[in-house]
Amino acid sequence: MLRKKIIKNRKKLTDKPKITIKKDIVAPLQTVKGMRDILPEDWRYWDFILERAKKLCQAYGYRQIETPILEETSLFSRSVGEATDIVEKEMYSFYSKSRENLSLRPEATAGIARAYLKNGMANWPQPVKLFYFGAMFRYEKPQAGRHREFWQIGYETLNDPSSVLDAQVIQLAFKIFEKIGLKNLTIQINSIGCPECRPEYQKLLKDYYRNKTNRICLNCRNRFAKNPLRLLDCKEEKCIQIINGAPQSIDHLCSECHNHFKEILEYLDELELPYTLNPFLVRGLDYYTKTVFEICPETGPFAGLALGGGGRYDELIKILGGEETPSLGYSMGVERTVQEMKNQNISVPPLFTPKVFLTQLGESARKKSLKIFQDLTEANIKTGESFGRGSIKSQLKVADKLGVKLALILGQKEAIDKVIIIRDMKTGMQEIVRLDKVIDEIKKRLKNI
């Protein structure tokens, strides 16, 4: 009996998908569908955005955090919501060797809420303000602005209920785009209420939809049964017509949610931020309470596509087993921001371009070159090299291609005499200088060019 049981269990543990490798086929050199390499040319944009976002987040009191890319699947089903597209259809979930049900993070807020509890952040000075930067994974249909691996920059303010923080979170989100140079953006904002007032609103919404279920899409019929708020998020033409006549959450808020929302709008007016009330904005994650918002281009090919979104999630930490911890946050999509930057012709600094090029000839010169190169870079002189090439001619060709102003030539004789030749690449004029004077000499010349 026991033996039978063991055999049965053993079968379960080894029950994994069969992997067959066809030996005669060369492994394909492709990325996984929906995932891409971020090449140096594009990384310039990532760098540009991150640098500005990081500076601003720090100035607003956020400190950097990185949570694991892999978390227990239940973290996301409990927080993002069992009946959301993200959890139902879009997670990369699998069983580990020890049969843990794990998922690649589809977003970062859930992981940060978990980190708040795990690391006893309730004992830190409150509110706890954290920002992050990293890759997220969602199994969506790849298209412009929708990837299966995409990057987010985001920040979360944990444990503060005041409406002024909602306004500050929105202010910072907008400021980041401003610093990047994006124009023509608008903030869409809504309040979806709290556990006090939302059930009543959801009932009204269901009542409204009850005799229309034969006119809505299949997805919406599912939403009607499982997650009625998400009915308002459908992009199908026939559903949009029905959405337009649906009851609106802002008309059914309890007095606390109503006042909270009114205060936020007053702060936004004071800040002169461009916002539009969107009574049908509900967002695709279940943890939100009260405020939800998105920032989108107003015009152009990506008009209406959210570059970033966020809101309040006062119940989330309680759902995960903690105390009452009203919190809020935001994240922006890096790919969509880059796409919009290109659309608005925002340029970013070019890749590293050296000003000086170090060439060398012969074994002892090459040995010395490594130290000279280090000294030049430590003196903040952007230096190029091509140590692997043999002849001075071929090295100077590279220098020419890079468009450097000055080349340094170190041959065997110069290495012995502790001197180096400085060549002006434009005029071809050459001069010998002492090695211990080369940095000062280059700095002087670069200033004058």
Structure tokens at 317: 């930490």
Bond from prior residue into 350 cis (ω within 30 degrees of 0): no
Q: How far apart are CA 382 and CA 399, in angstroms?
A: 13
- Residue 437 CB, shortest distance to ligand HAM, in Å, is 53
- Position 314 contacts ligand HAM (CB under 6 A): no
Nearer to ligand HAM among residue 166 and residue 335 (C-beta): 335
Interface with ligand HAM in residues 334-353 (CB under 6 A): 335-336
Question: Applying CB under 6 A, which part among 21-29, 44-52, 127-135, 307-315 lies near ligand HAM?
Answer: 307-315
- Residue 331 CB, shortest distance to ligand HAM, in Å, is 4
Q: Are strands 356-360 and 383-385 parallel, antiparallel or unpaired?
A: parallel
Q: Are strands 93-95 and 185-191 parallel, antiparallel or unpaired?
A: unpaired
Query: Which phi-psi region, left, alpha or beta, contains residue 380 (left: φ > 0; alpha: ψ -120 to 50)?
Result: left
- Give 79's DSSP letter: I
CA 255 to chain CA centroid, nearest Å: 36
Among 127, 310, 326, 354, binds ligand HAM (CB under 6 A): 310
Nearer to ligand HAM among residue 147 and residue 175 (C-beta): 147
- Position 330 contacts ligand HAM (CB under 6 A): yes
- Paired with 420 in beta bridges are 433
- Position 306 contacts ligand HAM (CB under 6 A): yes
Question: Applying CB under 6 A, which part among 142-150, 179-187, 369-377, 392-400 lies near ligand HAM?
Answer: 142-150
- Position 326 contacts ligand HAM (CB under 6 A): no
- Paired with 309 in beta bridges are 294, 331
Among 62, 76, 150, 224, binds ligand HAM (CB under 6 A): 150
- Residue 214 CB, shortest distance to ligand HAM, in Å, is 31
- Position 354 contacts ligand HAM (CB under 6 A): no
- Position 228 contacts ligand HAM (CB under 6 A): no
Nearer to ligand HAM among residue 105 and residue 198 (C-beta): 105
- Position 138 contacts ligand HAM (CB under 6 A): yes
What are the backbone angles phi and psi of residue 399, rounded to the nearest 5°? -60, -40
Rg (CA), the chain: 29
- Position 140 contacts ligand HAM (CB under 6 A): yes
Nearer to ligand HAM among residue 111 and residue 228 (C-beta): 111
- Residue 107 CB, shortest distance to ligand HAM, in Å, is 3
Among 109, 190, 227, 325, binds ligand HAM (CB under 6 A): 109
- Residue 431 CB, shortest distance to ligand HAM, in Å, is 54
- Which segments within 78-210 are labelled E, that is strand? 93-95, 101-104, 128-137, 149-158, 185-191
SS3 362: coil
Query: Environment class of residue 230 by beta-carbon count within 10 Å: exposed (0-12), middle (13-18) or buried (19+)?
Result: buried
Nearer to ligand HAM among residue 170 and residue 409 (C-beta): 170
- Position 227 contacts ligand HAM (CB under 6 A): no
Query: Environment class of residue 376 by beta-carbon count within 10 Å: exposed (0-12), middle (13-18) or buried (19+)?
Result: buried
Q: How far apart are CA 398 and CA 413, in angstroms?
A: 23
Query: Which phi-psi region, left, alpha or beta, contains residue 411 (left: φ > 0; alpha: ψ -120 to 50)?
Result: beta
- Residue 118 CB, shortest distance to ligand HAM, in Å, is 18
Q: How many CA atoms lie within 13 A of 227 on its CB side?
A: 21
- Residue 113 CB, shortest distance to ligand HAM, in Å, is 9
Find the farthest-apart pair of alpha carbons in the chain and give their distance in angstroms, rounded: 94
Helix axes 438-448, 363-378, angle to 10 degrees: 60
- Position 147 contacts ligand HAM (CB under 6 A): yes
Nearer to ligand HAM among residue 87 and residue 358 (C-beta): 87
- Position 278 contacts ligand HAM (CB under 6 A): no
Nearer to ligand HAM among residue 127 and residue 308 (C-beta): 308
SS3 360: strand
- Residue 299 CB, shortest distance to ligand HAM, in Å, is 18
Q: How far apart are CA 36 and CA 353, in angstroms?
A: 25
Q: Distances in Å between the alpha carbon of 73 and those of 81, 90, 115?
A: 11, 12, 15
- Residue 378 CB, shortest distance to ligand HAM, in Å, is 40
Structure tokens at 216: 């809505």
- Residue 169 CB, shortest distance to ligand HAM, in Å, is 8
Interface with ligand HAM in residues 79-108 (CB under 6 A): 107-108
- Position 293 contacts ligand HAM (CB under 6 A): no
- Position 146 contacts ligand HAM (CB under 6 A): yes
**Which residues would be at the binding site for ligand HAM (CB under 6 A)?**
107-109, 138, 140, 145-147, 150, 152, 154, 156, 284-285, 306-311, 329-333, 335-336
